[in-house]
């Protein structure tokens, strides 16, 4: 997976599976022309270092210059049964250690058809971000919210521009309520069948700060076009 971000110092973030982190970290470090490229991971443990067999903590990822952590992706929620509480624990731990997170939110097709998509997104946002202590000095600049309608992921059909605009506006409204005392809000990006033919239109939508690119990021030519 990869991010294409607007108005953020690291304009491109690559999020590979853990096993490819050493190779990618070495390539990025040795290349002088990749100043705007950063590395992240697709998942992270809710625990710190310790006896948690098979888990990968953010402390381990520091060895590979990982700056971004993807949290709450729909596949982690649905297929691997990650709960709202587990996702909230990951978010809290990362933000309290001044790490950058990409929090994924989005509705299924069934939830969309029942017209409860906004209720679902609101619950995902408040459960992950609503209980952060205002005294903890959390930086909103370390938070990126990725709206990924689950029905669009891998389908080849992205949400309409109107749907993307309206949902991003709703997410911004919710973030305003969560971070009332903050001077700035987290960035909001779109994911869900973003490719080289629709990315220009999607990235031009008001309120879209970037894109979370899935399958198209595996094709170098397509991603360069994006």
Catalytic residues: 73, 148
CA distance 107 to 119: 9
Tokens for 31? 């290349």
- Residue of 8, 101, 3 whose CA lies nearest to 61: 101
């Amino acid at each position: 997976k990869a991010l294409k971000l607007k108005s953020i110092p690291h304009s491109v973030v690559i999020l590979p599976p853990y096993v490819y982190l050493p190779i990618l970290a070495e390539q990025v470090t040795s290349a002088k022309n990749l100043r705007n490229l950063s590395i992240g991971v697709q998942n992270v443990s809710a625990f710190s270092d310790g006896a948690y067999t098979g888990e990968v903590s953010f402390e381990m990822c520091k060895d590979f210059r990982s700056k971004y952590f993807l949290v709450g992706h729909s596949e982690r929620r649905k297929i691997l049964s990650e709960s709202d509480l587990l996702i909230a624990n990951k978010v809290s731990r990362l933000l309290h250690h001044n790490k950058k997170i990409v929090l994924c939110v989005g509705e299924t097709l069934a939830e969309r058809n029942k017209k409860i998509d906004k209720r679902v997104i609101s619950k995902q946002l408040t459960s992950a971000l609503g209980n952060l202590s205002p005294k903890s000095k959390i930086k909103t600049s370390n938070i990126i919210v990725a709206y990924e309608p689950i029905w669009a992921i891998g389908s080849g059909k992205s949400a309409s521009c109107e749907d993307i605009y309206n949902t991003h506006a709703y997410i911004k409204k919710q973030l305003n309520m969560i971070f009332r005392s903050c001077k700035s809000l987290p960035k909001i990006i779109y994911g869900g069948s973003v490719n080289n033919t629709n990315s220009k239109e999607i990235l031009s939508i008001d309120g879209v700060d970037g894109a979370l690119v899935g399958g198209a990021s595996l094709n170098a030519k397509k991603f360069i076009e994006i």
